[in-house]
């Protein structure tokens, strides 16, 4: 059945074996030939979620090597799980990923076709035997209970995904070396790292039943390139991290100097702002202004590499954090003060920075009053370690500021979001 964005829902008989610790074995077990890859893990219920009815597994396949788009194919398994949790499972993949999930990969002289898959535990609410994508304007159809991996800021624990490549690929950016065939990827927002691990590595899928899990099959959210806290598909999402530390160092061109900006947001479990905390960044105490602990100025405070932050909230022990700001880079093209034709697409290229950074490119007009307007319909986001992009600005004549921001996002062990960014800007001129 064809869904928007070429999403295909169909059944695929993969062999799954499961044993329940004190519970009943799964039903409808089947086997289909020798597997090309085997996933092993455990379904857990750490929150004691009441689970009425059987639990099914599906593999959602996304094009490429990330979850950047809605899954192009959802492969549902013909085994259901019932009984007491935890339940051990083995998922055997006897076939290649569906053709619809493969996408061309071409970077640094390497070419191939890749797909990215995650295992999803769900309940088939409408009884159609498959995990349903949420259509535009719709609400969740089935109930997702847990998943092996999610590309969301809300998740901190280790996550797992299956990456398939039809050819061996050397490491590029944040992507590790990929041997030909199936690979098991382990990644974590806590460490901001990823590795290929053996297929006998146990995968834990905790059945939290968090409604935000439905994001991974939400058509509108992917179509709008939105984060998982966006109001689509009638979902209730996880809150943003209670504590966020943002350190931003901006080079505004040779004649404008360097701007340092620190913003530390502290909230308690109820979402109330924490006042009276001692917040120190690289030895400097930050004042509390309008609900945040902030610093902004041109004097040297932040630097590329490790920056030390300590937070002493009332009634709590001091917490120390390290925020990594990307290394300095320059915009290679276009050159500063270069002329570009109004409304005509052009390329932006910058010097290399560490491959684990992501980049955002922005373009704003400059008029005599200092007011700015965004000249791009969408600010390009580059997450694969690349250092160039083609942009198509709106029709405009006059001076504009081109900005490239490198950003590194990690998570501390206590869930605090740590953001280090470095941006560089230059002025260009648009002519008729």
Residues 269 and 137 in one domain: no
Give the least confident one: 86-100, 119-133, 254-268, 306-320: 254-268
Domain finish residue from 223, 254, 286 = 223
**Average pLDDT of the segment spanning 316-336:** 91
Residue 236 domain flag: no
Residue 288, domain CATH: 2.60.40
Residue 6 has pLDDT above 70, yes or no: no
Residue 238 domain flag: no
The pLDDT assigned to 74 comes to 60
Residue 254 has pLDDT above 70, yes or no: no
- Segment of 240-244, 410-414, 420-424 carrying the highest mean pLDDT: 420-424
Residues 190 and 275 in one domain: no
Number of domains in the chain: 3
Distance CA 50, CA 82 (A): 12
The pLDDT assigned to 11 comes to 27
The pLDDT assigned to 335 comes to 93
Q: Is the peptide bond before 86 cis (omega within 30 degrees of 0)?
A: yes
Residues 219 and 110 in one domain: yes
Residues 347 and 289 in one domain: no
Domain finish residue from 300, 325, 350 = 325
Instruction: Let me know the angle formed at the C-alpha of 13 by 12 and 19, rounded to the nearest 5 degrees.
Output: 125
Closest residue by Cα to residue 26 from 74, 89, 75, 76: 89
Residue 23 domain flag: yes
Distance CA 337, CA 328 (A): 20
- What percent of the chain is predicted at pLDDT more than 90? 16
Distance CA 75, CA 411 (A): 32
Residue 208 domain flag: yes
Quick one: pLDDT band at residue 419, thresholds 50, 70, 90?
Answer: confident
Residues 296 and 386 in one domain: no
Residue 169 domain flag: yes
Residues 43 and 93 in one domain: yes
Residue 361 has pLDDT above 80, yes or no: yes
The pLDDT assigned to 249 comes to 83
Closest residue by Cα to residue 312 from 339, 338, 286: 286
Residues 315 and 344 in one domain: no
**In terms of pLDDT, which residue wins out, 209 or 234?**
209
Residues 255 and 208 in one domain: no
* C-alpha of 395 from chain center: 32
DSSP string, 99-131: GGG-EEEEETTEEEEEEEEEEEEEE-TT-SSSP
Length of the chain: 432
Give the least confident one: 156-165, 229-238, 362-371: 229-238
**Average pLDDT of the segment spanning 329-333:** 90
**In terms of pLDDT, which residue wins out, 383 or 116?**
116
Tens-digit pLDDT profile for residues 16-72: 333 333 333 333 344 556 788 989 898 888 767 777 778 888 888 876 544 444 454
Which range of residues forms the domain containing residue 319? 243-325
Residues 287 and 393 in one domain: no
Give the least confident one: 33-37, 121-125, 187-191, 273-277: 187-191
Quick one: pLDDT band at residue 209, thresholds 50, 70, 90?
Answer: confident
Q: Which tokens in the block code for residue 244? A: 């966020």
Quick one: pLDDT band at residue 288, thresholds 50, 70, 90?
Answer: very high
Residues 80 and 100 in one domain: yes
Q: Which tokens in the block code for residue 30? A: 């089947």
Residue 235 domain flag: no
Distance CA 280, CA 417 (A): 16
Domain finish residue from 301, 325, 349 = 325
Quick one: pLDDT band at residue 154, thresholds 50, 70, 90?
Answer: very low
**Average pLDDT of the segment spanning 318-324:** 93
Residue 88 has pLDDT above 80, yes or no: yes
The pLDDT assigned to 224 comes to 52
Tens-digit pLDDT profile for residues 341-358: 998 989 999 986 666 577
For the chain, give the mean pLDDT. 75
Q: Say if CB 293 and CB 266 are below 8 A apart.
A: yes
pTM comes to 0.51
Residue 229 domain flag: no
**Average pLDDT of the segment spanning 145-152:** 76
Residues 24 and 166 in one domain: yes
Largest CA distance in the chain: 75
The pLDDT assigned to 308 comes to 95
Instruction: Using only the alpha carbons of the chain, give its radius of gyration.
Output: 24
The pLDDT assigned to 82 comes to 65
Residue 336, domain CATH: 2.70.50.50
Residue 348 domain flag: yes
Residues 206 and 342 in one domain: no
């Amino acid at each position: 059945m064809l869904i928007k964005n070429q999403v295909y829902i169909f059944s695929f008989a993969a062999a799954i074996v499961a044993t329940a610790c004190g519970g009943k074995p799964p039903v409808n077990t089947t086997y289909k030939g020798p597997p090309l890859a085997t996933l092993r893990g455990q379904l857990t219920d750490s929150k004691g979620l009441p689970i009425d009815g059987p639990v099914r597994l599906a593999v959602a396949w996304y094009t490429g090597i990330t979850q950047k788009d809605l899954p192009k194919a959802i492969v549902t398994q013909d085994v259901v799980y019932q009984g007491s949790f935890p339940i051990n499972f083995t998922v055997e993949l006897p076939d290649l990923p569906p053709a619809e999930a493969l996408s061309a990969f071409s970077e640094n002289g390497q070419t191939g076709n890749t797909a990215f898959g995650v295992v999803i535990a769900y309940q088939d609410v409408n009884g159609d035997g498959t995990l349903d994508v949420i259509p535009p304007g719709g609400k969740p159809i089935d109930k997702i209970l847990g998943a092996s991996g999610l590309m969301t800021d809300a998740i901190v624990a280790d996550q797992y995904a299956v990456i398939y490549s039809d050819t061996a690929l050397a490491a590029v950016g944040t992507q590790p070396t990929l041997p030909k065939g199936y690979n098991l990827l382990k990644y974590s927002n806590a460490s901001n790292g990823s590795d290929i691990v053996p297929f006998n590595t146990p995968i834990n899928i905790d059945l939290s039943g968090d409604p935000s899990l439905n994001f991974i099959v939400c058509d509108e959210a992917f179509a709008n390139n939105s984060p998982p806290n966006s109001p689509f598909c009638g979902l209730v999402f996880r809150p943003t991290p209670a504590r966020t530390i943002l350190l931003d160092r901006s080079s505004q061109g040779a004649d404008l100097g360097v701007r340092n900006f620190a913003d530390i947001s502290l909230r308690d479990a109820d979402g109330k702002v924490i006042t009276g905390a001692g917040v120190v960044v690289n030895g400097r105490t930050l004042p509390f202004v309008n609900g945040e602990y902030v610093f902004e100025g041109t004097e040297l405070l932040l630097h590329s590499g490790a920056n030390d932050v300590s937070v002493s909230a009332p009634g709590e022990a001091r917490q120390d954090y390290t925020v990594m700001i990307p290394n300095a880079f320059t915009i290679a093209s276009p050159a500063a003060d270069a002329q570009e034709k109004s409304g005509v697409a052009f390329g932006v290229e910058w010097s290399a920075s560490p491959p684990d950074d992501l980049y955002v490119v922005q373009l704003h007009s400059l008029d005599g009053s200092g007011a700015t307007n965004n000249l791009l319909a969408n600010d390009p986001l580059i997450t694969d370690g690349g250092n160039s992009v083609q942009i198509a600005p709106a029709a405009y004549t006059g001076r504009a500021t081109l900005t490239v921001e490198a950003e590194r996002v990690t998570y501390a062990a206590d869930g605090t979001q740590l953001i280090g960014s470095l941006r560089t800007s230059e002025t260009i001129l648009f002519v008729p």
